[in-house]
Amino acid sequence: MKLKTGIYWGAACGGCDVAVLDTHEKLLDIADHMEFFLWPCAMDFKYEDVKALDDDFLDIVLYNGAIRNSENEEIARLLRRKGKVMVAVGACAHIGGIPGLANFYTRDDILKRVYIDSPSTTNDEGTLPVEHWANGDEKLELPRFYNTVKTLDQVVDVDYYLPGCPPVPQQIVNALTAVWEGALPPKGSIIGAGTKTLCDECPRVKEEKMIPAIKRTHMMIPDPERCLLEQGLVCLGPVTREGCGARCIKSGVPCRGCYGPLDEVPDMGMKMLSALASVLEPKELKEIDEIVDMMVDPLRTFHRFSMAASILRRKNT
């Protein structure tokens, strides 16, 4: 019997849905084992139809995207009721992802920037979106834009996490195969990724060298064989979960941490700060200050994908 499946996107870019399609001929296996009842990216459906389903009707819900507004949260709660198993797919659902970077600003900052201050906008009257609008009998309601981006498990109970921005297609196949073969690990586990750090699967040579200076990618042509971090590029490999096949590193680009932290790491950004501090060559305060000044925007570098899940996050909505 096919698994009754729902795929949904909250605050997402669509890349996680495309990653499912990127499984190419394995899509035929997926179609053999899964029957789709909703998938906004690929088929039409109505919320009313989903609401009419019995609770626990869906065998599995794959939710990608963060929780940015009240609609994202409402549908997450609805699908949690309708699905037996809820999987947070992709970095946005797992740890907030790129949308989580908006948590460095308030809701009002963002609306002002987008609707009033952005160079391509003409809005002399300073009109901003409103949640409720009425003109006589005509009424419109928009989802509430939250002050704070949240991860999926900050609003509903999540059974499994399939990390990555987006998850590697083969990892999606591996994870879905485990679902239909009934070979899932204990609730709360990461699926479709390993248990070690990205450095463990990275092919670059590590020489345990101390770093004399921090550099940015445009400032150098890195040695293609050696560890990028040891060449001064901030690479989050030491604090990121393996599973992507080191796809950025193989293209000469440092890891930004989209596969998220290992199980025992409560805050990957802070862990990276600590890891980096331990390999910096300068020991004098003045030299340390200089090297810190070489780092552009360290908070967003260390928390590129994980700000919404960070212990530093704000908790108001």
What residues line the site for ligand SF4 (CB under 6 A)?
A: 12-13, 15-16, 64-65, 90-92, 97-98, 165-166, 198-199, 202, 204, 206, 227-229, 235, 237-238, 240, 244, 246-249, 255-259
Torsion, Cα 204 209 213 215, to 10 degrees, reads 0
Q: Which is nearer to ligand SF4, 120 or 251 (CB)?
A: 251
CB of 110 to ligand SF4, least distance (A): 17
Q: Specify the residue, 172 or 235, whose C-beta has the smaller distance to ligand SF4.
A: 235
Measured from the CB of residue 227, what is the shortest distance to ligand SF4 in angstroms? 3
Question: What is the closest distance, in whole angstroms, from the C-beta atom of residue 259 to ligand SF4 in the complex?
Answer: 4
Q: Closest-CB residue for ligand SF4?
A: 237
Report the residue number, 53 or 101, with the smaller CB distance to ligand SF4: 101
Q: How far is CA 153 from CA 67, 142, 178, 288, in A?
A: 10, 24, 22, 38
Q: Are 212 and 282 spatial neighbours (Cβ–Cβ below 8 Å)?
A: yes
To ligand SF4, the closest distance from the beta carbon of 155 in angstroms equals 16
Residue type for 150, please? K
Instruction: Provide the minimum distance between the beta carbon of 211 and ligand SF4 in the complex, in angstroms, as a whole number.
Output: 11
Minimum distance of ligand SF4 from residue 45's CB (angstroms): 19
Written as six digits, the tokens of 266 are 């409560």
Toward ligand SF4, which CB reaches closer, 38 or 227? 227
Residue closer to ligand SF4 (CB basis): 13 or 265: 13
Q: Of 4 and 242, which has the nearer Cβ to ligand SF4?
A: 242
